[in-house]
């Protein structure tokens, strides 16, 4: 297994992608690279498209005539959020933001090349003990503030990166059929409800000493440059039935991640 960080491989450069991949000749590529600054993308559309679409085209171009499949991570932001039932992989896309549009463009680049070989996994609300994400931000703010407002009218499904990584490995080992799959940890909750669960688990595991009042906000109360889907729950039934994978549980995954955060604090 060869891992590349953003500083080590410029995926937006076709020449560099060709050079690096020719040197290792992989039989599979897992593309987790993405421009994910959703609001910033509204002012940096070219940068978002370069990472989220052009880079995917470069990878697909190299893999086209080779025995190499790509597993590409995409997002719930390809949907407009106007549904009131979970989105299936077959549902029509209609991104509301530059970020969502750039991710959909990446999907199109991959599917237009070799539809019979590659895999796209759409996921949502990713978090872990690493990097910047909603869980870590909430825990930090809950330590710093006396009260916290959280958007309550956007509904989705939290997904642990550990859960997602496990799915990717199983897909590769099982030789999953090509196409689009959805994967989350199974919830259908608001950011406000998720924040409440984070606080409760943070207290239980000693990351937080005490709780603070959480105030439900509307999207209008908390305006952002990018429009976000109000409802972006993904239907993962195709993934569960088509592959020999166990259904993950968002509460269990949250518990595990906060336990890792607690352990790192103790060290």
Surface-to-core class of residue 13, CB atoms within 10 Å of its CB (0-12 exposed, 13-18 middle, 19+ buried): middle
Please choose, from the candidates 194, 187, 192, the residue with its C-alpha nearest in 3D space to the C-alpha of residue 249. 187
Q: 81: which residues sit within 8 A by CB, 6+ positions away?
A: 96, 154, 228, 229, 230, 231, 232
How far apart CA 98 and CA 119 sit, in angstroms, is 23
Active-site residue 87, yes or no? no
Q: Are 41 and 48 in contact (CB under 8 A)?
A: yes
For residue 34, the SS3 value is coil
Local structure of residue 93 (DSSP, 8 states): P
Quick one: which H or E segment has residue 151? strand 148-151
Q: Hey, what are 191's tokens?
A: 């950011």
Beta pairing partners, 156: 189
Q: Hey, what are 123's tokens?
A: 């996921």
Our measurement of the distance from residue 21's CA atom to the centroid of its chain's CA atoms, rounded to an integer in Å, reads 25
In the 3-class helix/strand/coil scheme, how is 207-236 assigned residue by residue?
CCCCCCCEEEECHHHCCCCCCCCCECCECC
Q: Tell me which residue has tokens 């897992």.
A: 30
**Residue of 35, 99, 181, 231 marked catalytic:** 99
Catalytic site residues?
A: 99
């Amino acid at each position: 297994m060869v891992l590349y960080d953003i500083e080590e491989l410029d995926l937006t450069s076709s020449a560099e992608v060709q050079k690096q991949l020719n040197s290792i000749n992989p039989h599979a590529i897992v593309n987790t690279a993405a421009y994910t600054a959703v609001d910033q993308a509204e002012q940096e559309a070219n940068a978002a498209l370069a990472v989220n679409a052009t880079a995917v085209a470069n990878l697909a171009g190299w893999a086209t005539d080779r025995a190499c499949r790509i597993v590409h991570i995409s997002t719930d932001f390809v949907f407009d959020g106007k549904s009131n039932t979970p989105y299936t992989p077959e549902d029509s896309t209609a991104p509301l933001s530059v970020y969502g549009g750039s991710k959909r463009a990446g999907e199109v680049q991959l599917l237009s090349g070799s539809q019979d070989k590659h895999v796209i996994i759409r996921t949502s609300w990713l978090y872990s003990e690493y990097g910047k994400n909603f869980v870590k931000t909430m825990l930090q703010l809950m330590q710093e503030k006396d009260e916290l407002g959280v958007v309550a009218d956007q509904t989705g499904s939290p997904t642990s990166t550990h859960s997602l990584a496990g799915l990717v490995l199983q897909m590769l080992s099982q030789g999953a059929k090509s196409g689009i799959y959805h994967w989350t940890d199974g919830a259908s909750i608001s950011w406000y409800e998720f924040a409440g669960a984070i606080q409760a688990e943070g207290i239980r595991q000693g990351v937080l000493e005490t709780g603070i009042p959480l105030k439900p906000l509307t999207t209008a109360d908390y305006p952002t440059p990018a429009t976000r889907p109000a409802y972006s729950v993904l239907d993962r039934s195709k993934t569960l039935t088509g592959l020999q994978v166990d259904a993950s549980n968002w509460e269990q995954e949250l518990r595990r991640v906060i336990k890792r955060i607690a352990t790192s604090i103790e060290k």
